[in-house]
Structure 1
Amino acid sequence: MTPRDASDANDSRWSDLDRPPLNAAALRRALVREGGLWREIEVVARTGSTNTDLVARAADGTADEGAVLVAEEQRAGRGRLDRQWTAPARSGLFFSVLLRPAEVPVARWGWLPLLTGVAVATGLARAAGVDTALKWPNDLLVTVPGPAGAAGAERKAGGILAERAGADGVVIGIGINVTLREDELPVPAAGSLALAGAATTDRDTLLRAVLRSLEEWYGRWRRAGGDPVASGLQETYAAGCATLGRVVRAELPGDRSVTGEAVAVDGDGRLILATADGVREPVGAGDIVHLRPAGEE
C-alpha cells in the first residue's frame, strides 16, 4: 500500500468500525440555535492543533464567539506547559471554542479554564455516568478499575488549555480520551472513559453534553459578571476538585517547588497550600503532583 493509499484508508469512515466519525450536521442541528452560544460547529478530519487554528481565525476575523472547531485527529495537540497530546484518530474528543466575555472584567478571565473543567466534568457525568474529578487547575480524572479485588487507579482522561485570542477573546481547547485502550495509552497514568466503564462512548452524545454544559456554566458566570461566588463556580469547582485535602507538590516557574496540603481555591482561582511551617502559599501557575491524602503518614 502506498503512503497515499494508507492515508485514504485512514480517512474512510469504515477504517475503524469501533470509532465512527462524528456527525457534523447532526451536531449543528442539536446545538446551533437562535439566541444560543454556539454559532458554528466545524468538524475536520485532522489538523495540527484546533487551538492554533481557532486563534488564527479569531485574529483574522473569520471566527467569532461561539465558533467550535473539532478535529477527528490532532497531530500537534498541546496541553499545559507545552506538553504534547496525541491519540489515535477518532479515539477521543479534540476541540476548541472561541469565547468573548465582554461583560466580564479581564481580571476574572482566569476562571475560564476552571469553569470549563466544571462544565466538562458535569457534562460527562450526565451523559456517560462516569465519576469524574478535577485535578487543579484543569485536568479531568477518572477512576479505572484494577484487577479483581484491587483498588481502582486515578488516571488523567482529559485536559484543558486556554489561550488569549486578541484583546477580547479566549480560545479554550479541550481534549478527552474516549475509547483509548490500555495498549494505546501514551503514558501509564493516562486513562479513558471506556477504561473507566462509561455507559456510552458515543462521541456525538458526549460532545453535545459537554457543549450544552459549557454553554450553561458560561452563561451563568457571564451573567454574574464573572463573580465566582455569585455564579456558584467557586463552590462547585471546590466540591469536584480531587486536589483539595491532599498533600501535593507544586512545581513552580524558576525551578522552585512547594509542598503542602491543598486547603482551598481562592477568589482568583489560585490553589492555596498550607505548608509545614504554617505558611499559606497561593499557587497561580505550575504543575501539581498529588503525593498522598492529607493526614496520611
Structure 2
Amino acid sequence: MTPRDASDDSRWSDLDRPPLNATALRRGLVRDGGLWRAVDVVARTGSTNSDLAALAAKGEAAEGAVLVAEEQTAGRGRLDRRWTAPARSGLFFSVLLTPAEVPVSRWGWLPLLTGVAVATGLSRAAGVDTALKWPNDLLVTVGGEERKAGGILAERAGEDGVVVGVGVNVSLRADELPVPQAASLALAGAVGTDRDPLLRAVLRSLEEWYGRWREAAGDPGASGLQEAYAAGCATLGRTVRAELPGDRSLVGEAVAIDGDGRLVLATADGVQEPVGAGDIVHLRPA
C-alpha cells in the first residue's frame, strides 16, 4: 500500500480503516418499536454532542437520534478535555435520550448506564476484557497495564433531553496515541476492528440497558444497573485520590457506588464520604 496522504479525504484513503456503512447501520438498528429512530454518519465535525444538541434545540432531532462522525476535530471529554484521533480510527458518536418516565434526580445514572452498555457491547463484539473507571472511562489492559481506551460525556439538551457522547479508540497504533496512558481495542488484542459490528453491538446494548432502566423509572437497584456497574468497575476496592472542585482532594478506599451513582470513599479516619464529581486517580492496583 502506498503511504497515506493526510490531505486525501477519499473514502478509501486508508484501506485499513474503511468508512462506516450508514445504510447497513440503519438497516440493522432502526426498527418499529425500537429506540433508534435515525442513524446519521458525517465525515467530519467538531463535536457530535454539540451538533446533536443544536439539532434537538431546533426540533430537528428526537429521542433515538444517533449522530456518528468519522472524525471529530473538537471532541470533548469531562472537564473540557480534548479528544482527538485520526479519521476512521474509532467510534465517535452521540445519542439523544428523553427519559420522561424517569425523575430528573436519577438522570445522573445515564453516563454510568452508557458505560455498562459500551463495555458489555465491546466485550461481546471485540473479545476484549473491559473495565470502567468511575465515573465514565473505559479501560482495557495492554501489556499488563490498565489504560484508557474510551470515555463518555452526558450533557443536558433543553428541559427534557440528554445528549450522551461516546468516544472509543478502535484501531489506533502505539505511535498514534495522544498520551502514553491511552490505548485502543487493537492494542488490547481485539479479535476484530471492523467498526460497523462494533457500533451495532454497542447501540443494541445501550438500547437494552436504557429500556430496562426506563421501565424501572430509573431505579438503579430494580433495573440491575447499580449491581452491573459495581461488578465492572475497576475503581472499587482501590485506594484512590479524588480531585474535587475547589482544589480539594480526598484519599480513601473506593468501597461502593451509592444509589445516586456516587463513588463512596472510606477515609483513613473511618468516615465514608460520597463523591459526586471529581477526577479519580487510582493509587494502587486491584
Distance 1:143 1:293 in 2: 12
The equivalences for 1:165-180 within 5 A come to 165-180=157-172
Of the three residues 253, 256, 259, the one matched with 2:251 is 259
- Give 3-state SS (helix, strand or coil) of 1:186's partner: coil
Distance 1:6 1:256 in 2: 43
- Give 3-state SS (helix, strand or coil) of 2:283's partner: strand
For the pair 1:59 / 2:57, whether they are aligned, the reply is yes
Residue of structure 1 equivalent to 2:22: 24
- Give 3-state SS (helix, strand or coil) of 1:229's partner: coil
* Unaligned ranges ≥5, structure 2: none
The equivalences for 1:170-249 within 5 A come to 170-249=162-241
User: Does the Cα contact within 8 Å between 1:144 and 1:191 map onto a contact in 2?
Assistant: yes
State the percentage of identical aligned residues: 85
Residue of structure 2 equivalent to 1:80: 78
Q: Which runs of structure 1 show a deviation greater than 2 angstroms over 4 or more consecutive aligned residues? A: none
User: Does the Cα contact within 8 Å between 1:93 and 1:177 map onto a contact in 2?
Assistant: yes
Distance 2:99 2:194 in 1: 31
Give the residue type in structure 1 aligned to 2:52: L
The equivalences for 1:1-150 within 5 A come to 7=7, 9=8, 11-145=9-143
Q: What's the TM-score once normalised by structure 2's chain length?
A: 0.97
Alpha-carbon deviation of 1:14?
A: 1.6
- Give 3-state SS (helix, strand or coil) of 2:155's partner: strand
Distance 2:67 2:13 in 1: 23
* Per-residue CA distance 1:222-277 (angstroms, 9 max, x = gap): 00000000000000000000000000000000000000000000000000000001
* Unaligned ranges ≥5, structure 1: 146-151
Give the residue type in structure 1 aligned to 2:104: V
Distance 1:112 1:202 in 2: 27
Give the residue type in structure 2 aligned to 1:54: L
Q: 1:121 to 1:6 in 2, by over 3 A?
A: closer
Of the three residues 271, 274, 278, the one matched with 1:286 is 278
Give the number of aligned pairs: 282
Alpha-carbon deviation of 1:293?
A: 3.7
Alpha-carbon RMSD: 0.9
Q: 1:282 to 1:6 in 2, by over 3 A?
A: closer
Residue of structure 2 equivalent to 1:276: 268
Give the residue type in structure 2 aligned to 1:208: R
- Give 3-state SS (helix, strand or coil) of 2:284's partner: strand
Q: What's the TM-score once normalised by structure 1's chain length?
A: 0.94
* Per-residue CA distance 1:76-98 (angstroms, 9 max, x = gap): 00000000000000000000000
Alpha-carbon deviation of 1:6?
A: 6.2
